[in-house]
Chain A
Amino acid sequence: MADEGQNYSMFNSRMLVDVVGDVTDEALKASRIKDIIGVLAGRVFNWGQRKSLFPLHLGIKCCALEMAAAGASRFDAERFGVFFRSSPRQCDVLLVNGPISKKFADPIVRLWEQMPEPKWCIAMGECSISGGPYFQSYNILEGVDTIIPVDVYIPGCPPRPEALIDGFDKLRQKIIRIGAVPSDARPETEAPLIIGDE
Chain B
Amino acid sequence: MAEMWISMGPQHPMTHGLWTLKVKVDGETVVDTEPDLGYIHRGVEKICEARDFTQITTYCDRLCYASANTWSHSYIYAAEDLLEVEVPERAEYIRLMAIEIQRIASHLMWLGAYGPDIGNLSVMVWCLREREMMMDLLQELGGSRMHYNFPRVGGVKRDLPHGFAQRARAKLKLFLNRIQEYEALFDESTVFLVRSQGVGYAKPEEMVNHGVTGPNLRAGGVNYDIRWAHPYSVYSELDWEPPVERSSIKGADCYDRYRVRVEEMRVSASLALQALDKMPGGADTHHEPGDPMILAKAPARAPEGTTGAHHFEDSRGESMFYIAGGGESRGKQPYRVSIRSPIFITIPFAAKCMIGYKVADIPAIMGSFDPCIGETDR
Contacts and interface: CB of A to CB of B under 8 A. Distances in A.
B62 A133 contact: yes
Given A66-B145, A73-B128, A59 B47 contact: no
A86 interface: yes
Contacts, number: 102
Given A60-B18, A74-B132, A66 B146 contact: yes
A68 B128 contact: yes
A64 interface: yes
Contacts of A60: 17-18, 40
A62 interface: yes
Nearest to A65: B65
B261 to A, nearest CB: 17
A58, A62, A107, A137 pick with most chain B CB within 10 angstroms:
A62
B46 interface: yes
A73 B10 CA distance: 27
A103 B129 contact: no
Interface residues of A, number: 34
B17 A64 contact: yes
A90 interface: no
Nearest to B61: A62
B372 to A, nearest CB: 10
Contacts of A86: 12-13
Nearest to B373: A61
B152 interface: no
Contacts of A88: 11
B256 to A, nearest CB: 26
B182 to A, nearest CB: 15
Interface in A51-65: 56-62, 64-65
Contacts of B12: 86
A157 interface: yes
A134 B43 contact: yes
Interface residues of B, number: 39
B46 to A, nearest CB: 7
A52 B41 CA distance: 34
B228 interface: no
Contact of A138 (B39, B46, B128, B373): B46
B11 A107 contact: yes
Given A74-B129, A74-B132, A61 B39 contact: no
B6 interface: no
A59 B147 contact: no
Contacts of A140: 42-43
A59 B10 CA distance: 10
B9 interface: yes
A99 B43 CA distance: 12
Given A57-B13, A72-B124, A139 B146 contact: no
A104 B46 CA distance: 20
B62 A62 contact: yes
A68 B112 contact: yes
A137 B42 contact: yes
A139 B128 contact: no
A73 B125 contact: yes
A138 B374 CA distance: 17
A154 to B, nearest CB: 14
A6 interface: no
A114 B125 CA distance: 29
Contacts of A59: 16-18
B50 interface: yes
A104 B65 contact: no
A36 interface: no
Interface string B34-62: 00001111111011001000000011001
A88 B147 CA distance: 30
Contacts of B59: 133
Interface in A68-119: 68-69, 72-74, 86, 88, 98-99, 101, 103-104, 107, 111
B66 interface: yes
A61 B145 CA distance: 15
B109 interface: yes
Given A104-B39, A134-B42, A134-B47, 7 more contacts: A57-B11, A61-B17, A61-B65, A73-B126, A107-B9, A158-B145, A160-B145
19 contacts: A56-B11, A59-B16, A72-B128, A72-B132, A73-B126, A88-B11, A103-B38, A103-B41, A104-B40, A107-B10, A133-B59, A133-B62, A134-B42, A134-B47, A136-B47, A137-B42, A137-B43, A140-B43, A157-B147
Interface of B: 9-13, 16-18, 38-44, 46-47, 50, 58-59, 62, 65-66, 68, 109, 112, 124-126, 128-129, 131-132, 145-147, 373-374, 377
Q: Which 5 A-B pairs have the closest CB atoms?
A: A62-B65, A72-B128, A134-B42, A137-B43, A104-B39
